[in-house]
């Protein structure tokens, strides 16, 4: 069987792998790269959503997608959600709200939810349900999962607002109207520090 060396960008890291033409993204992630957060759930029938990853920001069933079709494209798995040692707000909300039971479906749920919040930061319950319609959970009635997504959405909006406010304050303080007698750039540095505490998700 024909094999080719291909470049993959996974969670911001570049990999070069010799892959056969019939290798799926799921096999690449789990068997080659050791990223086992992406789950095998339905024998590659595409029915459960447990294998969902984001390819260029779009939910993709990795069990049905050939690896060579996503070469040189950005792939995000559940392992890449956290930033600077912090859980993503979705991960934290799933824990806080109690949306995790056996956890098998959780990686796919998280990534489908992230794709939704990236394009719609203030979704309704119905919009959350529709976004997660391709992800099956056999443990819950989905109520806690939807609640967790809405909770995370509120957190992300709050953090984005705080970051924008800090940046605006920093810009105003360093402009022509800065208070007389203040050390040059002092207020600007303070505002930049506040902005730096906010993680861009």
What would the pLDDT profile of 148-172 be if each residue is shown by its tens digit?
999 999 999 999 887 776 667 666 6
Per CATH, the number for 1-80 is 3.10.20.30
In degrees and rounded to multiples of 5, residue 5 shows phi and psi of: -80, 125
**Does 7 score more than 90 pLDDT?**
yes
pTM across the whole model = 0.82
**Does 177 score more than 60 pLDDT?**
no
Instruction: Assign a CATH topology to domain 82-178+185-196.
Output: DNA polymerase; domain 1 (1.10.150)
**C-alpha dist (Å) from residue 6 to 3, 14, 17, 23, 73:** 9, 10, 6, 12, 11
Contacts of 192 (CB under 8 A, 6+ apart): 166, 170
Instruction: Give the β-pairing of 58-61 and 52-55.
Output: antiparallel
Which pLDDT does position 161 carry in this prediction?
83
**Token output for 123:** 């979704």
**Does 193 score more than 70 pLDDT?**
no
Q: Locate the DSSP E strands across the chain.
A: 3-10, 13-20, 52-55, 58-61, 74-76
**Diameter of the chain measured on Cα atoms:** 74
Coil vs helix vs strand at 75: strand
Domain boundaries, the chain: 1-80, 82-178+185-196
Opening angle at CA 151, ends 150 and 156, nearest 5: 95
């Amino acid at each position: 069987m024909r094999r080719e060396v291909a470049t993959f960008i996974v969670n911001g890291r570049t990999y070069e792998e010799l892959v056969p033409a019939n290798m799926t993204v799921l096999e690449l992630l789990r068997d080659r790269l050791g990223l086992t957060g992406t789950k095998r759930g339905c024998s590659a029938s595409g029915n459960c959503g447990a294998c969902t990853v984001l390819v260029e920001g779009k939910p993709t069933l990795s069990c049905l997608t050939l690896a060579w079709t996503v070469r040189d494209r950005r792939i995000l798995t559940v392992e890449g959600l956290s930033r600077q040692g912090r859980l993503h707000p979705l991960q934290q909300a799933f824990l806080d709200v109690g949306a995790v039971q056996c956890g098998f479906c959780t990686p796919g749920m998280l990534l489908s939810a992230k794709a939704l919040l990236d394009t719609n930061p203030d979704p309704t319950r119905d919009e959350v349900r529709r976004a997660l319609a391709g992800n099956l959970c056999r443990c819950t009635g989905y109520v806690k999962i939807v609640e967790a997504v809405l909770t995370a959405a509120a957190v992300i909006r709050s953090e984005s607002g705080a970051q924008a406010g800090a940046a605006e304050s920093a810009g105003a303080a360093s402009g022509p109207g800065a208070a007389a007698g203040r050390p040059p750039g002092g207020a600007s540095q303070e505002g930049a520090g506040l902005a730096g505490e906010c993680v861009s998700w």
